[in-house]
Amino acid sequence: MQLPVKLSSINKEWDIIIIGGGITGAGIFRQAVQEGLKVLLVEKDDYASKTSSSSSKLVHGGLRYLKEGKIFLTKASVLERERLMKEAPGLVTNLGFLMPVYKDRGTSKWLLRMGLSLYDVIAMKKRHQYFNKIEFIQQVPNIDQNGLLGGFLFFDAQVDDVRLVLRLIWESINDGGTALNYTEALQIVRDSSGNVQGINLKDVENNYERTLLTKVIVNATGVWAEKLHPCPNPKLHIRPLRGSHIIFPTKALPLKQSLSFTHPEDNRPIFAFPWEGGVVFGTTDVDHAGDLNTLPRITNDEVEYLMYGLHSILPSLKISADQYISTYAGLRPILTEGKLAPSKESREHEIWVDKGLISITGGKLTTFRLLAIDTLKQVYRFNKGKRKSSRFKEKFKSFSPIDFDLLSSDNLSADISLRISGRYGIQGFKEIQKADKENLETIPGTTILWAELAYVAQHEQVHHLDDLLLRRVRLGLLSPDGGKKHIQRIQELCEPLLGWDDKRWNNEIERYNNIWTKRHKMP
């Protein structure tokens, strides 16, 4: 049970305080707790409320990095993908992609075959397959047949990105860590020599402020990292790159398999794949010039770009943008000189250290554990005597193992049991599967159970309605108008657990509708 913890009630001294509750901060939190350190994680908004809720939902090896010659990044990503599928079944799941090959556009057949073969070698299993033109059309009946030679089937993996972050955080708390959402880092406290001594924090819900003591602070704030400390290399700065997506209903974009193809305008890879009852289509890769404190959203130019790509590959479907369910956009934190095109920039992570302040940026969702390992090596420079292990990579798993014998349920199918346990762990599964029969039904158009809403409302530090509907469960992305038609039932289900009166509910609904309109509605 992860009930809200108060800033006023926690300990004053810590081995390490992590700022940032996205995948990077959560991964470092998990690693540090397993190392036996006394760790606090703080996030000024909700966990995973920025970039880590707006990824492409893929745990992938980075096939395109091979084309750019980044073999070591690809290898690391593939190995981490394989590890995550073994450690978190039901959360990180296998995903097959179909990739068409044309004679006069996109990547050539021989180059794709070479790249996919290397992909398989790294994963130590042969998984790609080639289909001729007739076989490929059978797989994707609506595919553009003009110049089509055939296509490949290859495999990556998909994830609910927020549930990945939350499971890392909850398991860390269960193992002795402490995490606070809606807690802002105001100022780093240093001694006369400039060494980190502590940090001033504020509970943003009640404006309570407190100073805590630590010798090590990890700055895992992504695109905001330079606000706490500028990069020591004056030539390098964080370049926020926006990736935007559209979610369609399956009736509008009826794909039997996931589809990956190159955009005819710039030859960038884009994709469409089934996810949680909808179909995710994306992504863009453009510079974000807006205020970093304002939530990013898809632009008209990005919609036109994506729809042009979709019409080029599936022309007979005649899909229009107004058939969408929702949109979302996230910012990638790239540290760079800014000379390359956005899609050519490196996704490798960077760490810089300043007398106890360790800043980390860049990296990929897939490789969060490797970022954590590199960060902990720097942490021990300031916490000498605390280190218990010199073999980070081999010692720890990111997730507690689940005994599949415990997933037997008279109320849920095997597939749903696996999905629930992957997202909420074994304790969440035990609670959810005990719900009344009507609450074990799926919410129309999604794979979400009504009982999931009740569970997270009671157990997962929910402060606001958007925490519940956009992150703890993804109903706000998967139901038209953010699930507006379900609000009454949601209120009836969750009101006794959240303790909100009617006035609070009305305020929360207004807040939620405002956020959804600004961030997830088509422009």
Domains in the chain: boundaries: 7-51+162-236+346-395, 240-334, 435-520
Determine the pLDDT at residue 493.
Answer: 97
Determine the pLDDT at residue 434.
Answer: 93
C-alpha closest to that of 85 among 452, 394, 399: 399
First-last CA distance in the chain: 39
Determine the pLDDT at residue 382.
Answer: 82
Q: Please report which confidence band the pLDDT of residue 482 belongs to, taking 50, 70 and 90 as the band edges.
A: very high
Q: What is the pLDDT of residues 304-343, one digit of tens each?
A: 999 999 999 999 999 999 999 999 999 998 888 877 888 7
Query: When comparing pLDDT for 227 and 12, which is higher?
Result: 12
The CATH code that applies to domain 7-51+162-236+346-395 is 3.50.50.60
Q: Please report which confidence band the pLDDT of residue 260 belongs to, taking 50, 70 and 90 as the band edges.
A: very high
Judged against a pLDDT cut of 70, whether residue 392 lies above it is answered with no
Query: When comparing pLDDT for 405 and 276, which is higher?
Result: 276
Q: Please report which confidence band the pLDDT of residue 388 belongs to, taking 50, 70 and 90 as the band edges.
A: low
DSSP code string of 104-128: SSSS-HHHHHHHHHHHHHHHTS---
Most confident residue range from 35-49, 123-137, 217-231: 35-49
Q: Please report which confidence band the pLDDT of residue 346 belongs to, taking 50, 70 and 90 as the band edges.
A: confident
**233: DSSP letter:** S
Which tokens belong to 507? 């305020």
Which tokens belong to 9? 């009630």
Determine the pLDDT at residue 3.
Answer: 55
Task: Compute the half-sphere exposure of residue 271: CA atoms within 13 Å on the CB side of its CA.
Answer: 23
Alpha carbon distance 240, 47 (integer Å): 20
- Mean pLDDT score, 273-293: 93
Determine the pLDDT at residue 139.
Answer: 94
Determine the pLDDT at residue 336.
Answer: 84
Which tokens belong to 89? 């079944």
Alpha carbon distance 179, 160 (integer Å): 21
Q: What is the pLDDT of residues 421-440, one digit of tens each?
A: 999 999 999 999 999 999 99
C-alpha closest to that of 298 among 279, 318, 324: 324
Q: Which element (helix H / strand E) includes 125?
A: none
Determine the pLDDT at residue 246.
Answer: 98
Of 77-86, 119-128, 273-282, 459-468, which gets the smallest average pLDDT? 119-128
Percentage of the chain exceeding pLDDT 90: 76
- Mean pLDDT score, 9-37: 96
Query: When comparing pLDDT for 265 and 124, which is higher?
Result: 265
Determine the pLDDT at residue 395.
Answer: 65
Determine the pLDDT at residue 418.
Answer: 94
- Mean pLDDT score, 298-302: 98
Determine the pLDDT at residue 69.
Answer: 65
Most confident residue range from 1-5, 207-211, 264-268: 207-211
> What's the whole-number average pLDDT of the chain?
92
Alpha carbon distance 334, 151 (integer Å): 32
Determine the pLDDT at residue 406.
Answer: 73
Taken in order 172, 174, 180, 186, the sign of the CA dihedral is negative
Return the ∠ at Cα 237 (arms to 234 and 240), rounded to 5°: 170
This prediction's pTM? 0.95
Partners of 155 in the β-ladder: 96
Q: Please report which confidence band the pLDDT of residue 21 belongs to, taking 50, 70 and 90 as the band edges.
A: very high
Percentage of the chain exceeding pLDDT 70: 95
Q: What is the pLDDT of residues 30-73, one digit of tens each?
A: 999 999 999 999 999 999 999 999 999 999 877 666 666 677 77
Determine the pLDDT at residue 334.
Answer: 86
Determine the pLDDT at residue 508.
Answer: 98
- Mean pLDDT score, 447-458: 97
Q: E strands of 250-364, at which residues?
A: 258-262, 269-275, 278-282, 286-287, 326-336, 350-354, 357-361
Determine the pLDDT at residue 23.
Answer: 97
| CATH topology (fold) of 240-334 | D-Amino Acid Oxidase; Chain A, domain 2 (3.30.9)
Judged against a pLDDT cut of 70, whether residue 2 lies above it is answered with no
Judged against a pLDDT cut of 70, whether residue 295 lies above it is answered with yes
Q: Please report which confidence band the pLDDT of residue 202 belongs to, taking 50, 70 and 90 as the band edges.
A: very high
Judged against a pLDDT cut of 80, whether residue 364 lies above it is answered with yes
Determine the pLDDT at residue 95.
Answer: 94
Determine the pLDDT at residue 407.
Answer: 80
- Mean pLDDT score, 156-182: 97
